[in-house]
Amino acid sequence: MAQIIQSNTTPIDKVEVDTITVDIVENALRNARYEMDAVLFRTAMSPGIREQHDEFPLIANPEGKMVVGQFGSFIGGFLDNYSGTVEEGDVFLTSDPYSCDGAISHANDWLVLMPIYFDGRIVGWAAMFGHMTDVGGKVPGSLPTDAESIHEEGVIVPPIKLYNKGVLNDETLRLILNQVRMPQWNRSDLNAIVAACRTAGRRVAELCSRFGASTYLSVLDALLERNYRAMEQLIATTISEDPISFTDYIDDDGMGYGPYKISCTMWRENNKVVLDFKGTDSQSLGPINFYLNENMFKMFFGIYMIMVFDPQILWNDGFYPLVEVRIPERSLLKPAYPAALSCRTHALGRIFDVLGGLLGQRQPEFLNAAGFSSSPHLMYSGRNSKGEWFQLYQIGFGGIPGRPFGDGPDGHSLWPSFTNVPNEFLEAYFPLLIERYETVPDSGGAGFFRGGNGIDIAYRFLEPGEISIHDDRWFTYPWGVNGGLPGKRSTKYLIKKDGTKKTLPSKCDRVHVEKDDVLHYVTWGGGGWGDPLTRSPELVALEVKRGLVTKEGAYQNYGVVLTDDLSVDEARTEARREEIRSSRSEIGVFNFGGTLEELRARCEAETGLKPPLTPTFI
């Protein structure tokens, strides 16, 4: 356990705080959290952080409980596992998931933690982690799809003092950077993360100077307590004592086996909710394991509850005592060291589909369909005509699910704060052209509220090199709900410069590309919500005109018949809808697009790929 050194050991008394002071401090902390982002984006070099915002900040109280931020508090796990001292001016770095109970979940995420001192006392923590484009390992990008151990995935940094009482540990940093392919990017991104944490530290110190440390810390207690009370009420009114369960899948492990099951059962015990992952498959030999930190999952649960039922609540760690998470050891979500973790993003994202399937079963009006539950990656690397190394890491976007209150957005990230890398940026800094960046019509599941469409990005490579692809939902469908249809699955295909077409697996490395080869990176759509036969025919016609739905899709999925000028033929539409109603079976809550056995039987005909082999576990 860490030993915290403070020159001022006088206890800080808790004081009464009024609502105006709470409001001022709360909004000041919100602004400080966004200022952390702004500092990072203006200082980092890698497009994954600078352009796509693949980073997650937080500001916590002295015990490490997150008050504002993202991804929940991982500081408690650090304090429990770090055996050294914590002193003013220290800045800590780690990228080892197994040393912090999965607070970061693969070696590409570099986590910086900084204690915030005021008047000789620790008054809080600032922390942030960002995804590094490369951390060494067997393939460029450090996310090998065939890894069987974390030691194949690049340099692993145990918890160290990057700064010791304000002094940079330069030799250790040079040793770490010597293991990576893009050391200038890593150094710049790391410095930017440190600068962001120091910015938060200054803002917290200013609040302590303005209000006094006692008032500031009492406000933090009030914010955490307010969150506890709000979540206690939400749990009492939305979670039943009777268990409900839901299962979803990771399609394959990158080594030919799958799908892998993620199962969760939820129920309420008194004022607490229990989420039990019993039934989840054992850990994979391949790198799709997701070392799920219990506090991180509590945060996922809290965000989902708040955004669905009461978006005005500021989420923080205050409600954690109300949630109990049970994850079986040596399962896909709690693998044993040194299991590979580099492709964990698919399980991480699929957790949100599982939560959606759980929380909406008893209240279908709040039920979301399955959405773009991943952050799929494309890596492209090689040497240009001048012999200079280039290396791209980019996150793909897809369709957000149809929801009780509207259509899912088209071509969006799983994470709301992520943004797309501008095509102009890509073409300016990498040897490629973006020949197509467009929505895929009909890829969003049909429904009263349509699922968001996936997108098709066509990359024309201008230099020979290698690509790696990380994706999922090519075998199972993003399911629809309440009569909504599933969204379309993802696909990746390479058109060689001689015109031949090759369908690529959803997870692959070391794919050689030549100049003028074109990769089509097609992402999946979100599932639909509600009966598509109840959607306004005029709205369907408008979306056909906008290229979001095809004329054939309108006819087959929505029962809408359009004339040559794309206006609605009302009589034929009513007849077509009645034809569909009379021929279809009873509408269920979920539409998975078929059983696993049915999907296996249709797989090669529908996808051009052989179905994955059923995993075997010891």
Give the residue with greater pLDDT, 77 vs 90.
Answer: 90
Model pTM score: 0.93
Residue 93 has pLDDT above 90, yes or no: yes
- pLDDT score of 399: 95
Cis amide leading into 409 (omega within 30):
no
- The C-alpha R_g of the chain, in whole angstroms, comes to 25
Residue from 190, 256, 244 nearest 356 by CA: 244
> d(Cα 565, Cα 40) in Å, to the nearest integer?
50
**pLDDT value for 546:** 97
What is the mean predicted confidence (pLDDT) over 10-21? 94
Average pLDDT score, the chain: 94
Of 315, 482, 485, 507, the C-alpha closest to 399 is 485
Q: What is the pLDDT of residues 94-120, one digit of tens each?
A: 999 998 888 888 999 999 999 999 999
Provide the pLDDT confidence category of residue 136 given band limits of 50, 70 and 90. Answer: very high
Mean pLDDT of 152-159: 96
Q: For 257-333, where are the alpha helices, taking DSSP H only?
A: 294-309
Residue of higher predicted confidence among 302 and 505: 505
Q: From CA 568, how far away is CA 206, in angstroms rounded?
A: 62
Asked if residue 60 lies in contact with residue 125, where contact means CB atoms within 8 angstroms, the answer is yes
Query: How many residues make up the chain in this entry?
Result: 618
The pLDDT of residue 419 is: 85
612 contacts 256 by C-beta, under 8 angstroms: yes
Which letter does DSSP use for residue 257 in this model?
Answer: B
Q: What phi, psi does 513 have (nearest 5°)?
A: -125, 145
- Range from 81-85, 98-102, 342-346 that averages highest in pLDDT: 342-346
Q: Distance (Å, rounded) from C-alpha 221 to C-alpha 225?
A: 6
* Cα distances (angstroms) measured from residue 168 to each of 86, 164, 193, 352, 585: 15, 7, 14, 39, 67
Given pLDDT bands bounded at 50, 70 and 90, which one contains residue 76?
A: confident
Tell me the β-bridge partners of 391. Answer: 381
pLDDT range class, residue 177, cuts 50, 70, 90: very high
The helix (run of H) or strand (run of E) holding residue 86 is strand 85-86
Rounded distance, CA 193 to CA 577, Å? 55
Per-residue pLDDT averaged across 75-89, rounded? 89
Predicted confidence band of residue 267 (pLDDT cuts 50, 70, 90): very high
How far is 232 from 358, CA to CA, in rounded Å? 18
Residue 99's pLDDT is what? 86
Our measurement of the distance from residue 118's CA atom to the centroid of its chain's CA atoms, rounded to an integer in Å, reads: 34
Cα→Cα distances 368→219, 323, 447, Å: 35, 22, 12
Give the pLDDT of residue 417. 77
237 or 389, greater pLDDT: 389
**Band of residue 246 on the pLDDT scale cut at 50, 70, 90:** very high
| CA 194 – CA 200 distance, rounded (Å) | 10
- Averaged over 21-27, what is the pLDDT? 96
**In the structure encoding, which two tokens stand for residue 479, read together?**
């399911």
Read off the pLDDT of each residue in 517-533 and give the average, rounded to a whole number. 97
